[in-house]
């Protein structure tokens, strides 16, 4: 197992990239700690597979280095990296039995036959395929073949890292949950470094210790689920994570005051004088409705009861501001002001979070 370091890494699929737009992966520096479970989260096309394939060696980066425990592996072939990778769609040997498919990575490395026998049995139990071990893979459903691919990815105990690229796409919803749980327990048992790619925030937040959020070829934040919730470093993290996502409002910020649509509010801490496009970001969990005449005047558009709480959708001068209100609380017509809990107020300048000034 190894710590993985990406040093000044960038990748373009073009032979002669010129502008930043030519790069599928913009320059990044990142450390992946040994033994941690990561989720790589972002919308389709943001560069997740590109990044994963560079780590496994399927792709050589056009710029920068990749290190395993400080050893330069940038040009090392996949075989030397000792990494198991599972893809979105099944990769199985059709003419082999399920058993031989699962045993393949172990036989390839000359493992002891008795060990192979036991280990294959364990893995078959994890993916729920003990009864089909002697069947040929040909003719199995896509779902079953993908489970074999997953099993093959998990069979070796001595890998540096396990990479999963949206592995549950073709798996039926019930089995998805089951397999994700298995992956988590595999992580607890063996402590491999794991990187799990997904575009689904729930999947990312339930699987990983740390989530790496990508947007438009850039890693915009690596953090615990709590950090992504409390201090999104980029507005994308704010609105991509959460349901509903973070409220964003254009604002003029000076010190500890903001003016939003002509209304001044207190921020609770100082932010200097941010420049560029300045926005206030406040999650619906830190936003509440009240009667009276302080706060932002809004119109209530809709109240959604989602069980644990209510989501109140309001309009402030054409901008939607969402509020999460307690399940039992009454929403009366005179509650037409929005106030923010200053603990949850973030300020953004050109989409990036401005650190509050320490008093």
- Spatial contact of 284 and 324, defined as CB atoms under 8 Å apart: yes
3-class DSSP state of 101: helix
**Interacting partner of 79 out of Mg ion, ligand ADP, none (Cβ under 5 to 8 A depending on kind):** none
3-class DSSP state of 104: helix
Which one, 51 or 278, has the nearer CB to Mg ion? 51
Rounded to a whole number of angstroms, the minimum distance from the CB of residue 50 to ligand ADP is 3
Which element (helix H / strand E) includes 175?
Answer: helix 173-190
Residues with Cβ within 8 Å of 185's Cβ and at least 6 positions away in sequence, in order, are none
C-alpha distances in angstroms, 114 versus 103, 104, 167, 233?
A: 11, 14, 29, 51
C-alpha distances in angstroms, 132 versus 121, 138, 152, 171?
A: 11, 12, 15, 17
Which one, 83 or 312, has the nearer CB to Mg ion? 83
**Interacting partner of 44 out of ligand ADP, Mg ion, none (Cβ under 5 to 8 A depending on kind):** ligand ADP
**Interacting partner of 226 out of Mg ion, ligand ADP, none (Cβ under 5 to 8 A depending on kind):** none
Rounded to a whole number of angstroms, the minimum distance from the CB of residue 24 to Mg ion is 11
Which one, 21 or 69, has the nearer CB to ligand ADP? 21
Residues with Cβ within 8 Å of 338's Cβ and at least 6 positions away in sequence, in order, are 287, 288, 289, 295, 296, 298, 314, 316, 321, 323
Which one, 86 or 129, has the nearer CB to ligand ADP? 86
Residues with Cβ within 8 Å of 72's Cβ and at least 6 positions away in sequence, in order, are 65, 66
Rounded to a whole number of angstroms, the minimum distance from the CB of residue 261 to ligand ADP is 36
Check binding of 50 to Mg ion (CB under 5 A): no
The footprint of ligand ADP on residues 9-28 (CB under 6 A) is: 13, 24
**Interacting partner of 45 out of Mg ion, ligand ADP, none (Cβ under 5 to 8 A depending on kind):** ligand ADP
Only one of the segments 42-50, 125-133, 215-223, 305-313 lies at the binding site for Mg ion (rule: CB under 5 A); that segment is: 42-50
Rounded to a whole number of angstroms, the minimum distance from the CB of residue 165 to Mg ion is 6
Which one, 49 or 132, has the nearer CB to Mg ion? 49
Residue 154, phi then psi, degrees to nearest 5: -95, -10
Which one, 203 or 279, has the nearer CB to ligand ADP? 203
Cα radius of gyration rounded to whole Å, the chain: 24
Rounded to a whole number of angstroms, the minimum distance from the CB of residue 158 to ligand ADP is 28
- Extended beta strands in 106-251, E state: 161-165, 193-198, 210-215, 218-223, 247-250
Structure tokens at 137: 């893979």
Which one, 24 or 325, has the nearer CB to ligand ADP? 24
Binding mask 32-71 for ligand ADP (x = CB under 6 A): ----------x-xxxxxxx---------------------
Check binding of 49 to Mg ion (CB under 5 A): yes
Check binding of 89 to ligand ADP (CB under 6 A): no
C-beta neighbour count of 100 within 10 angstroms: 16
- Extended beta strands in 140-256, E state: 161-165, 193-198, 210-215, 218-223, 247-250, 252-254
Interacting residues toward ligand ADP by CB under 6 A: 13, 24, 42, 44-50
Give me the residues that bind Mg ion (CB under 5 A), please.
Answer: 49
């Amino acid at each position: 197992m190894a710590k993985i370091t990406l040093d000044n890494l960038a990748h373009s699929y073009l032979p002669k990239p010129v502008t930043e737009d030519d790069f599928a992966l913009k320059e990044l520096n990142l450390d992946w700690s040994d033994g941690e479970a990561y989720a790589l989260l972002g919308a389709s096309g943001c560069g997740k597979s590109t990044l994963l394939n560079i780590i496994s060696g399927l792709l050589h980066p056009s710029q920068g280095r990749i290190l395993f425990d400080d050893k330069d592996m940038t040009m090392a072939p996949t075989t030397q990296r000792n990494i198991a990778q599972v893809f979105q769609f099944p990769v199985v040997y059709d003419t082999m039995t399920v058993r031989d498919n699962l045993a393949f990575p172990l036989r390839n490395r000359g493992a002891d036959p008795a060990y192979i026998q036991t280990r294959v049995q364990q893995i078959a139990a994890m993916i729920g395929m003990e009864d089909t071990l002697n069947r040929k893979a040909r003719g199995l459903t896509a779902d079953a073949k993908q489970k074999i691919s997953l099993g093959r990815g998990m069979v070796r105990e001595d890998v540096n890292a396990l990479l999963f690229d949206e592995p549950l796409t073709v798996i039926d919803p019930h089995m998805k949950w089951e397999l994700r749980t298995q992956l988590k327990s595999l992580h607890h048992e063996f402590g491999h470094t794991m990187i799990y790619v997904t575009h689904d925030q729930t999947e990312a937040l339930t699987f990983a210790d740390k989530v790496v959020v990508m947007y438009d070829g850039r890693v915009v934040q690596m953090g615990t689920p709590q950090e992504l919730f409390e201090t999104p470093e980029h507005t994308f993290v704010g609105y991509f994570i959460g349901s509903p996502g973070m409220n964003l409002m254009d604002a003029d910020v000076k010190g500890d005051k903001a003016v939003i649509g002509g209304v001044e509010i207190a921020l609770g801490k100082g932010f200097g004088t941010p420049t560029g496009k300045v926005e206030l970001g406040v999650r619906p969990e830190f936003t509440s409705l009240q009667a009276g005449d302080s706060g932002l005047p809004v119109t209530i558009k809709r109240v959604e009861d989602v069980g644990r709480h209510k989501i109140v959708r309001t309009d402030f001068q054409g901008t939607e501001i969402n509020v999460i209100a307690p399940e039992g609380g009454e929403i009366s017509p005179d509650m037409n002001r929005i106030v923010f809990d200053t603990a949850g107020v973030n300020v953004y300048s050109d989409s990036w979070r401005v650190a509050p000034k320490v008093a």
